[in-house]
Amino acid sequence: MRFTKMHGAGNDYIYVDCFSQDVNDPTHTAKILSRPHFGIGSDGLVLIKPSNNADCFMDIYNADGSRAKMCGNAVRCTAKYAYDSGNRKSVIDVDTLSGTKSVELIRENGNVTGGRVNMGKPILNGHSIPTRFGSSIVKGESLSVDNKNYEITCLSMGNPHCVVFCDGVDSLDLSKIGPLFEHHEMFPERINTEFVEVKGGEELTVRVWERGSGETLACGTGACAAAVASVINGLSKKNREIKINLPGGTLFADWTENGDVYLTGPAVTVFTGETEVL
């Protein structure tokens, strides 16, 4: 199987061109290849497939083999892959399980270095995220995790997110509390959790625990969720590009007046290769 390893701010996936080859068991393939030391090592697997509605379809599988609907970092990398493979459009449309996302490519000296993605409108209805908090906006709700109460804000950016504003995010033991949030009974489809420290109205420091992958160096939808939650809680303003500092790099999110969230960040090819999946 031929593959390309790519990352967006350290959020790395194994990309397979399924225009020219098939992956018969993506769940097994994701679990085997994502393992560090024993596989290629990644946050998951992305299959780039033909689409009737867009330039390509992005099919994502987390490191544990579970299927994901959307990833803001992976969609930029998928668009870069399409461009590098011969689709020389300045805007690449990528179909996902959360709808079609348009990626405006950022180029330097003819090379794609990143992109700006219209991530669509956040889903704020508690049932639709989904959570078990009810149908209203989930803001300032109390969630008991490991005998500690956390004040949370929840939303969906094509996948479910729980945002916790706190100080000292660098010292948090995410390997302990992350799984407790992910599998909490209030989240019927599990949850991605962002722990957010406010540096100013237009700057946040964020660590992310992703369902199915654990702590990742960056999360595109998580960065968007942190920005939206910051606006909802009166910590930031709409129509302002918010700098999101993550362990793997920096992303920028902007919740515009028309309701759409835009995400800007890098897209980097690491290496290409061939592997056998047993």
| Vertex 155: Cα angle to 152 and 160 (nearest 5) | 100
Q: Which tokens is 162 given?
A: 């729980």
Mean pLDDT score of the chain, rounded to an integer?
97
pLDDT, tens digit, 9 for 90 and up, residues 130-155: 999 988 999 999 999 999 999 999 99
Per-residue model confidence as pLDDT tens digits over 10-63: 999 999 999 999 999 999 999 999 999 999 999 999 999 999 999 999 999 999
Ramachandran region, residue 65 (left: φ > 0; alpha: ψ -120 to 50; beta: rest) = left
Question: How would residue 2 be classed by pLDDT, with cut points 50, 70 and 90?
Answer: very high
pLDDT at 257: 94
Six token digits for residue 210: 């992703």
Q: What is the pLDDT of residue 200?
A: 87
> What angle in degrees, to the nearest 10, is found between the helix axes of 220-232 and 72-84?
140
CA 229 to chain centre: 16
Q: Where are the alpha helices (DSSP H) in the chain?
A: 26-33, 72-84, 174-182, 220-232
Average pLDDT over residues 211-215: 96
Instruction: Please write the tens of the pLDDT for every residue from 231-268.
Output: 999 999 999 999 999 999 999 999 999 999 999 999 99
pLDDT at 277: 86
At 242 the pLDDT is: 98
Each residue of 104-127: pLDDT tens digit? 999 999 999 999 999 999 999 999
Task: State the Cα–Cα distance between residues 210 and 213, nearest whole angstrom.
Answer: 5
What confidence score (pLDDT) does residue 278 get? 74
Q: Find residue 144's DSSP bridge partners.
A: 149
Mean pLDDT of 204-221: 97
For the segment 165-189, the average pLDDT, to the nearest whole number, is 97
Q: How confident is the model at residue 82 (pLDDT cuts 50, 70, 90)?
A: very high
Supply the DSSP symbol for 247: T
Percent of the chain with pLDDT over 90: 97
Sequence-distant (6+) residues with CB within 8 A of 202 are 236, 240, 241, 242, 243
Mean pLDDT across the stretch 173-189? 98
* Contact (Cβ atoms closer than 8 angstroms) between residue 26 and residue 47: yes
Q: Catalytic residues, which ones?
A: 71, 219
Q: Stretch 200-218: mean pLDDT, rounded?
A: 96
pTM > 0.85: yes or no: yes
Residues 183-189 have a mean pLDDT of 98
Q: With contact defined as beta carbons under 8 Å apart, do 204 and 241 qualify?
A: no
* Number of other residues whose CB lies within 10 A of the CB of residue 111: 11
